[in-house]
């Protein structure tokens, strides 16, 4: 392969990435990046940090939307991938088995409640959710699916039909029939739907990623009781909250749940290789894959992918060896300690919340001097949060995100390898940024107008 080197290619096209991305992938995305000043080309990642072309280091609190629990370019996972490549593994045989997929399935099930006994691999989170919906329908002989308002489960058509956010669903209809939503936390509405005994699956995130909303006390436990009572399968979507993110391997462990279906993805391969998995009860599996004729009822060409399996096994090993799950609990507590005082300090800070390293700060109209806040929010709901995210990036070299369209919430999903010092860096920068943003300087109003036009 003397003629082709990735590094030569990258250096020969240095400085072109953003324009080329716009021309070949998505010009509107590039417009957004330029408007908010996020149009850097990233050239290196390590742990919780990113480096741009100029060699400036940033603290990454987006974490690839939560796919780098073990940190970017984790050395153990990378070594496993290099080794797997050097082993000349067979790759997908399709009509045959190979060693790694059942080993990763076994490793995942070992960490799950006894009720979960089978694994179906996919290549993404949305595909794992799609599998839950399809298999749930076949296993129950029912067609309806209930999900929660503002839930996010992916953007392919089945997952999208369960999505509770019009900014994702509008323009893509008609969505799948039989999908309905109830309020997150509304047990009465849930029971009203389940009582009809035609609901195959209740699909819910244990902590809603959009806005980082934690479940009300007792909600998930009671939802499970209702599901069992009315013969509905409980699907807890752990795509974002799983793999140690909240200080437990699965977030549902905080509430002692035993779901029937559990999609995971994102961090499962250390962020290196597309991967997803649906953990399910044997009862569900056996009702769908009930004969040799039905042995191929669901699957996809690339899943299970052997590199994803090798990376997945190394990721689980790393989570254990480096104590990252317990570490996430400790760091999460520290992050709340550092940021909770902001609620007292600033009228515009309504709430700081989180579990483990799934964290958010929510803004709201201040009690006094409301005019500026109202002006900004009238231009675009949730815009105030951009007033925080942009200076965090430009002035403090911290990459964070608004937690959903029109949401006045800034969110963090850092790598679980983040340090105590990083959290102090973030808390200090946040304090300074909110103090400035609360005053909404004149210059910011100009930014608001520009940002409002990019919608
Ligand atoms: C809770 C949840 N479910 C499903 C998905 C979809 O995963 P993917 O983007 O891998 O399709 C996401 C992605 O953010 C998610 O947060």
Substitution candidate for ligand 1 out of 154, 162, 235, 252 with most atoms within 8 A of CB = 154
The Cα–Cα gap between 252 and 239 comes to 12
Residue 161 tokens, joined: 């039909």
Which segments of 327-408 are extended strands (E)?
A: 349-355, 358-363, 398-399, 401-402
Residue 147 Cα to ligand 1 middle (Å): 14
- Number of helices (H), then strands (E), in the chain: 19, 15
Pocket of ligand 1 (CB under 6 A): 65, 124-126, 129, 152-154, 205, 209, 237, 239-240, 265
- SS3 label, residue 117: strand
Which atom number of ligand 1 is nearest to the Cα of residue 65? Answer: 14
Q: Residue 403 C-alpha to ligand 1 middle, in angstroms? A: 14
- pLDDT at residue 455, rounded to an integer: 43
Give the distance (Å) from ligand 1 centre to CA of residue 152: 7
Measured distance CA(261)–CA(377) in Å, rounded: 39
DSSP H or E stretch at residue 137: helix 125-140
- pLDDT at 450 > cutoff 80: no
User: Around Cβ 70, how many Cβ atoms within 10 Å?
Assistant: 30
Residue nearest atom 3 in ligand 1 by C-alpha distance:
153
Q: What whole-number distance in Å separates Cα of residue 297 and Cα of residue 138?
A: 10
Q: How many Å lie between the centroid of ligand 1 and the Cα of residue 278?
A: 13
Mean local confidence (pLDDT), 288-315: 96
Distance CA 234, CA 163 (A): 17
SS3 214: coil
Ligand 1 centroid – CA 441 distance (Å): 36
Distance CA(51)–CA(36), nearest Å, equals 18
Please list, in sequence order, all residues whose beta carbon lies within 8 angstroms of the beta carbon of residue 122, skipping any fewer than 6 positions away. 128, 130, 131, 265, 275, 276, 277, 278, 300, 303
Q: List strands edge to edge, sheet with 57-60.
A: 42-46, 49-52, 57-60, 398-399
Instruction: Quick: pLDDT tens for 344-358.
Output: 999 999 999 999 999
To test the pocket of ligand 1, the residue of 265, 269, 358, 411 to mutate (highest count of ligand atoms within 8 Å of its CB) is: 265
Assess contact for 256 and 221: CB atoms under 8 A: yes
Q: For ligand 1, atom 4, which residue shows the shortest CA distance?
A: 153
Would you mind telling me the total number of residues written for the chain in this entry? 455
Between CA 429 and CA 210 the distance in angstroms is 23
Residue nearest to atom 7 of ligand 1 (CA): 125
d(CA 409, CA 296): 43
What is the DSSP annotation of 256-313?
T---SEEEE-GGGGTTSS--EEEEEEHHHHHHHS-SGGGTTSS-BTTBS-HHHHHHHH
CA of 388 to the centre of ligand 1 (A): 25
Q: Which helix (H) or strand (E) holds 43?
A: strand 42-46
Is it true that the peptide bond before 174 is cis, omega within 30 degrees of 0? yes
Q: Which of 128, 133, 153 to mutate to test ligand 1, by most ligand atoms within 8 A of the CB atom?
A: 153
CA angle 203, 204, 209 (to 5 degrees): 135
The phi and psi torsions of 242 (rounded to 5 degrees) equal -85, -175
Strands 409-412 and 401-402: antiparallel
Give the DSSP letter of residue 184: T
Pairing state between β 261-264 and 116-122: unpaired
CA of 150 relative to ligand 1 center, distance in Å: 13
Tokens representing 245 are 């993110």
% of the chain with per-residue pLDDT over 70: 96
Residue 379: the pLDDT is 82
The verdict on whether omega for the bond into residue 304 sits within 30 degrees of 0, i.e. cis, is: yes
Can you tell me which atom of ligand 1 is nearest the CA of 127?
A: 11
Atom from ligand 1 closest to the CA of residue 241? 1
Which atom of ligand 1 lies nearest, measured to the CA of 205?
1
Q: Using the mean position of ligand 1's atoms as its centre, give its distance from the Cα of residue 155 in Å.
A: 8
Question: Per-residue pLDDT tens for 93-142?
Answer: 999 999 999 999 999 999 999 999 999 999 999 999 999 999 999 999 99
Query: Kind of pairing, strands 199-204 and 233-236?
Result: parallel
What's the chain's average pLDDT? 94
What percent of the chain is predicted at pLDDT more than 90? Answer: 87
Report which ligand 1 atom has the smallest distance to the Cα of 154: 6
For a pocket test of ligand 1, which of 150, 152, 250 has the largest count of ligand atoms closer than 8 A to its C-beta? 152
In this prediction, residue 373 has a pLDDT band, given cuts at 50, 70 and 90, of confident
CA of 209 to the centre of ligand 1 (A): 9
Instruction: Tell me the per-residue pLDDT of 5-26, one tens digit each, with 9 for 90 and over.
Output: 999 999 999 999 999 999 999 9
pTM of full prediction above 0.85: yes
Residue 199 · residue 182 · CB < 8 Å = no
């Amino acid at each position: 392969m003397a003629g082709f080197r990735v590094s030569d290619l990258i250096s020969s096209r240095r400085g072109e990435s953003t324009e080329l991305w716009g021309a070949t992938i998505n010009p509107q995305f590039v417009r957004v990046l330029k408007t908010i000043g996020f149009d850097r080309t990233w050239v290196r990642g390590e742990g919780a940090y990113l480096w741009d072309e100029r060699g400036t280091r940033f603290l990454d609190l987006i974490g690839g939307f939560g796919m780098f629990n073990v940190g970017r370019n984790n050395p153990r996972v990378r070594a496993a991938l290099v080794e797997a490549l050097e082993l000349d593994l067979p790759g997908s045989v399709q009509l045959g088995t190979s060693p790694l997929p059942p080993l990763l399935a076994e490793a995942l099930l070992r960490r799950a409640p006894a009720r979960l006994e089978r694994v179906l691999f996919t290549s993404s989170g949305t595909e794992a959710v799609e599998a839950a919906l399809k298999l749930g329908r076949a296993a129950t002989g029912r067609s309806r699916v209930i999900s929660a308002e503002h839930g996010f489960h992916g953007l392919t058509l089945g997952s999208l039909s369960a999505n509770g956010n019009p900014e994702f669903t509008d323009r893509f209809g008609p969505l799948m029939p039989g999908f309905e939503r109830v309020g997150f936390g509304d047990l009465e509405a849930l029971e009203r739907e389940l009582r009809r005994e035609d609901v195959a699956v209740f699909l819910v995130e244990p902590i809603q990623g959009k806005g980082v909303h934690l479940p009300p006390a007792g909600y998930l436990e009671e939802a499970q009781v209702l599901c069992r009572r009315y013969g509905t399968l409980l699907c807890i979507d752990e795509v974002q909250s799983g793999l140690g993110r909240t200080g437990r391997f699965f977030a549902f462990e905080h509430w002692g749940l035993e779901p029937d279906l559990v999609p995971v993805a994102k961090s499962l391969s250390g962020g290196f290789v597309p991967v997803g998995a649906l953990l399910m009860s044997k009862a569900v599996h056996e009702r769908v894959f009930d004969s040799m004729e039905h042995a191929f009822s669901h699957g996809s060409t690339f899943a299970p992918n052997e590199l994803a399996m090798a990376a997945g096994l190394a990721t689980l090993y790393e989570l254990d060896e480096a104590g990252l799950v317990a570490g996430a609990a400790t760091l999460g507590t520290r992050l709340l300690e550092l940021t909770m005082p902001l609620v007292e300090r600033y009228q515009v800070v309504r709430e700081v919340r989180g579990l483990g390293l799934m964290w958010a700060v929510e803004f709201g109209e201040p009690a006094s001097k409301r005019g500026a806040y109202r002006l900004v929010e009238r231009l675009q709901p949730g815009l105030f949060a951009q007033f925080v995210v942009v200076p965090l990036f430009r002035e403090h070299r911290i990459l964070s995100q608004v937690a959903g369209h029109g949401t006045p919430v800034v969110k963090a999903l850092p790598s679980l390898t983040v340090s105590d010092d990083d959290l102090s860096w973030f808390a200090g920068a946040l304090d300074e940024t909110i103090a400035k943003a609360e005053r909404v300087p004149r210059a910011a109003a100009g930014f608001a107008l520009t940002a409002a036009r990019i919608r």
